[in-house]
Amino acid sequence: MTRKQAFHLLITFLFATVARSQNAKTDSAGAATALKSLWSICRNVDFGDPTTAKLRTFFKAAAFILYRGDDKKRAWKDFANYSSPGEKKGVDAVCTHINETVNRDSAYKIVKYLTQKESEGLWLVLIVSYNREGTEKKAAFAFLKINQRFGLGDIV
């Protein structure tokens, strides 16, 4: 390998590393923004909104929650459809869980960001620390990026 080839290889490697680092920063910020939006939607339901009266309490949250049902074509590849009774139940359960945990502490902190490659894709995991009844708790919120949007797939 000539010096020039080695130099080009090194430059290519460095650019690829910087690009991955930039994507990780962008993706972690995007996942955090989606998480905060979801928390806000679950906490601040607008009961004066006619759509809320028609579709019910947490319809806006469906746009941030992944479909996890039996349809293999949609599972982990699509967002929840709040018009479907089963999917509505799942969205409501997620918002209820959020409202009973993290949303009770306005001083929560996102303390860690991880990525995990799985069969569904690259999971972006935000570890959140919050206080519940005087005790520090932690929860992991796992997101997948679907069509340039981040969708919550699981809470642990």
pLDDT of 20: 43
Q: How confident is the model at residue 8 (pLDDT cuts 50, 70, 90)?
A: very low
Q: What span, in angstroms and rounded, lies between the C-alpha atoms of 73 and 89?
A: 20
Q: Are 33 and 145 in contact (CB under 8 A)?
A: no
129-156 average pLDDT score = 95
User: Residue 129 is which amino acid?
Assistant: S
Q: How confident is the model at residue 5 (pLDDT cuts 50, 70, 90)?
A: low
Domains recognised in the chain with CATH numbers? 24-155 (3.10.450)
- Percent of the chain scored above 90 by pLDDT? 74
Listed in sequence order, the residues at least 6 apart from 40 whose beta carbon sits closer than 8 Å to its beta carbon are: none
pLDDT of 91: 97
